[in-house]
Amino acid sequence: MNTKIYMLGTGTAVPIKRGLPCIVLKIDSDLYVFDVGEGCQQRMFSMGLGIVKIKSIFITHMHGDHYLGVFGLLQSMHLLGKKNGLTIVAPPELVDVLNHMIELKLTKLTYDHEICVVKEGEVYSDNKLRVYAFPVDHSIPAYGYSILVKGRNQIVYTGDTAPYEKVVEVAEKSELLIHEATFTSRDRREAYEEKHSTAADAALIARKAGVKQLVLTHISPRYSDPYEVFYDAYRYFRNVVVAEDNMVLFL
């Protein structure tokens, strides 16, 4: 299978220098989207990703930078004549909003769809992958996702989280850990107050879990030079990349 990861949005809540969070896993022609910040669909178009090919959407938590783009994305899929089915896995509050909008005919989903509340454990499977949700430690209820591609390539995406032992457990020996790194160690106190991680925290988790590669995302705009983020992690884990908008990773 041809597997790629598109890091379409790698920033935090205000898109000053980077787009809002959005990751697309492409397996052959099928697309799986993890978090849908505003502007996600435009970046998908610019990268040549046909949004009607989206099979599932996974939202980590109810902070706006992670889900507000989903409404426009659903509308565009309808306007472009999406035919194949769609599964959305999201926090209960967003599930309620989406179902209410559909009832009021404010959102048109003319294709088969299933909207599921995220919970720990397996939340989605098809003939190409299985997706599991696990709780993380953030300021509101939040989940990360573990993806098994044909039972072999494990990809773990944390969403927003403070350093958390559960991530080490889930990510053990995984091919790829995509971990938030909102801050660097010089702003460690602020990171912990806001229930986020530093790049060094992410690196220590990657090392402890024995992952093959670490990708840092959710980078604060205060760090104008990505090398500062990179060095904060590289001290503890060498196979690390600081994600940039529209970066493509090959698996």
Residues marked active site are found at: 65
Three-state DSSP class for residue 81: coil
Residue from 89, 85, 131, 93 nearest 111 by CA: 85
Using CB atoms within 10 A of its CB, is residue 250 exposed (0-12), middle (13-18) or buried (19+)?
Answer: exposed
Q: Are the C-beta atoms of residues 170 and 206 closer than 8 Å to each other?
A: no
Q: Are the C-beta atoms of residues 62 and 94 closer than 8 Å to each other?
A: yes
Residue from 20, 14, 45 nearest 35 by CA: 20
Find all residues with CB under 8 Å of 165, minimum gap 6, and list them: none
